[in-house]
Amino acid sequence: MILVTGGAGFIGANFVLDWLASPGNEAVVNLDILSYAGNPETLASLAGDARHIFVHGDIGDSALVARLLAEHRPRAIVNFAAESHVDRSIHSPGAFIQTNVVGTFNLLEAVRAYWGTLDGAAKSDFRFLHVSTDEVYGSLGKDEPAFTEQHRYEPNSPYSASKAASDHLVRAYHHTYGLPVLTTNCSNNYGPYHFPEKLIPLMIVNALAGKALPVYGDGQQIRDWLYVKDHCSAIRRVLEAGTTGEVYNVGGWNEKPNLDIVHTVCALLDELRPRTDGAAYSQQITYVTDRPGHDRRYAIDAGKIERELGWKPAETFETGIRKTVQWYLDHQDWVANVQSGAYRDWVEQNYGERVA
């Protein structure tokens, strides 16, 4: 048995689905508060599967977490639970502090108490894997080397600052209490079941709806892109063989400017679902006012996880983005169902106020 937190969100749900699709893997207790980005429909294929136990709840609810740990006795915890959207953190930073900092602290306290009750192999084999982001490292100049695990933390948004704080708490619980932790810091994920507030799904959804494709500033912000199923395989490998107390950066070796990403999505849609008027989707691109404090470049050096654990991504960006666009074309019902009134209100709040 493993406990997964945030397992109805984008990366967490992909991890749960992949985990249970692999023969021989243990059952999963899936704890998720079902905020706006937590979607039970993503897990619909697991209905009736006794290996998936879904619990609606908050990682900050110490009593609930303690009960789940005592009842199910997991041998590992994989912590995906987080508020994760930079723009939302700019508008409403308090939610990010509450979930990412206070929630992680409460989770660690409950796990520390549970771990203290274990004996022998159960105690030595237990693992707490904390999933974090490359954004904690700040922004890179154009020619600076990519982030390694030794890079100084320099978070620049309320989101990245809250994740940096959670990373520090995880580290401290290992060094102070001996809790056997692992931390992964990943680059930008993309793939199936991605909530359409993030760049790639937003471009797909807006393009198909005939809406503007909003590009911040000059569109030359550079990110490293990691296909979500590659990220899931990296987490499984770190959980299996990672050294406790260590940090592993997980990246796709795919640095690309945002504008290039948008043009790639447009070109794939031109091929796979052409506009009825024959025009190119790129005609819908609109440049809008950049967001405050927008980091210019992130880049992950994923050499450590390859050297020490033998992991590297299976997908190139070209193969991964084609699979992603095709998935959204094939799952329009899922997309329509997540675009609630609250989602539309958010898009209007975030993009409606930006001057083209």
Residues 240, 311 contacting (CB under 8 angstroms): no
Give pLDDT, residue 348.
56
Rounded to whole angstroms, the Cα distance separating 120 from 23 reads: 27
Assess if residue 180 is contained within a domain: yes
Residue type, 173: Y
Assess if residue 348 is contained within a domain: no
Give pLDDT, residue 285.
97
Residues 14, 87 contacting (CB under 8 angstroms): no
Q: What's the structural domain count of the chain?
A: 1
Ranges of the chain whose pLDDT falls below 50: 341, 343-344, 346-347, 350-351, 354
Assess if residue 216 is contained within a domain: no
Assess if residue 272 is contained within a domain: no
| Bridge partners, 79 (sequence order) | 5, 130
Estimate the crossing angle of helix 258-272 against helix 317-330, to 10 degrees.
Answer: 50
Catalytic residue check, 240: no
Q: Cα–Cα distances in Å, from 56 out to 43, 173, 343?
A: 13, 26, 21
Q: What tokens does 144 get?
A: 């600076």
Assess if residue 280 is contained within a domain: no
Per annotation, catalytic residue among 32, 135, 255, 315: 135
Q: In what order do the strands lie in the sheet with 222-227?
A: 188-190, 222-227, 255-257
Give pLDDT, residue 287.
96
Catalytic residue check, 134: yes
Length of the chain: 356
Q: What tokens does 323 get?
A: 């699979």
Rounded to whole angstroms, the Cα distance separating 34 from 88 reads: 16
pLDDT tens for 16-69 read 999 999 888 899 999 999 887 778 889 999 999 999 999 999 999 999 999 999
- Domain, as residue range, for 27: 2-195+225-253+293-315
Give pLDDT, residue 148.
98
Per annotation, catalytic residue among 159, 193, 216, 227: 159
Q: Give CA torsion, residues 193, 196, 200, 204, to 10 deg.
A: 100
Q: What tokens does 322 get?
A: 């084609």
The enclosing domain of 62 has a CATH number of 3.40.50.720
Residues 47, 70 contacting (CB under 8 angstroms): no
Q: What tokens does 116 get?
A: 């203290």
Give pLDDT, residue 347.
44
Give pLDDT, residue 205.
96
Catalytic residue check, 149: no
Per annotation, catalytic residue among 32, 83, 87, 134: 134
